[in-house]
């Protein structure tokens, strides 16, 4: 028996595919390149406002929600005993786009059904974290 089709399936796969770019943008936002020193003295003793500068910068609301949903799914998947294999499947199929599910299954190695289960479990996990499932 097959699973029912979900309208959000393609959206969540796109969300997972966008994660590496969102992660890069998030990291760039939280890298402080230079913050003004408010003491008036060059290299003064008063601390600069790096925390304030970081807190002001953030991703747009929807991009932040997508990033957090995928990040939480990754953290949850890493705790599984086969988490490394699960994330390898996601990386090869969705992030790098190098392999199909059957090709990634051969690389791990695992069966196609196992790779498909890892893939769909991760998509469901992201959907739940994003709020598409109860």
Q: Which of 129, 12, 25 is nearest to 68 (CA)?
A: 129
CB 128 within 8 A of CB 6: no
Give the Cβ contact number of residue 61 at 10 Å.
8
User: pTM of the predicted model, to two decimals?
Assistant: 0.76
Would you kindly state where each structural domain of the chain is located, as residue ranges?
9-31+48-130
| Digit-coded pLDDT (tens) for 84-97 | 999 999 999 999 99
Average pLDDT value over all residues in the chain: 83
| pLDDT-based confidence at residue 43 (cuts at 50, 70, 90) | low
> What is the arithmetic mean of pLDDT over 108-134?
94
| Digit-coded pLDDT (tens) for 71-120 | 999 999 999 999 999 999 999 999 999 999 999 999 999 999 999 999 99
What pLDDT score was predicted for residue 15? 94
List all residues 6 or more positions away from 106 whose beta carbon is below 8 Å from its beta carbon: none
């Amino acid at each position: 028996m097959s699973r029912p089709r979900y309208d959000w399936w393609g959206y969540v796969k796109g969300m997972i595919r966008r994660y590496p770019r969102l992660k890069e943008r998030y990291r760039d936002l939280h890298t402080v390149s230079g913050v003004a020193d408010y003491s008036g003295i060059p290299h003064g003793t008063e601390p600069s406002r790096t925390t304030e500068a970081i807190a002001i910068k953030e991703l747009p609301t929807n991009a932040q929600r997508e990033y957090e949903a995928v990040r939480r799914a990754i953290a949850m998947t890493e705790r599984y005993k086969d988490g490394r294999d699960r994330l390898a499947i996601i990386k090869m199929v969705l992030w790098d786009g190098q392999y199909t599910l059957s090709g990634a299954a051969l690389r791990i190695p695992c069966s196609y059904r196992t790779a498909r289960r890892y893939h769909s479990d991760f998509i469901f996990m992201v959907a739940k974290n994003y709020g598409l499932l109860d």
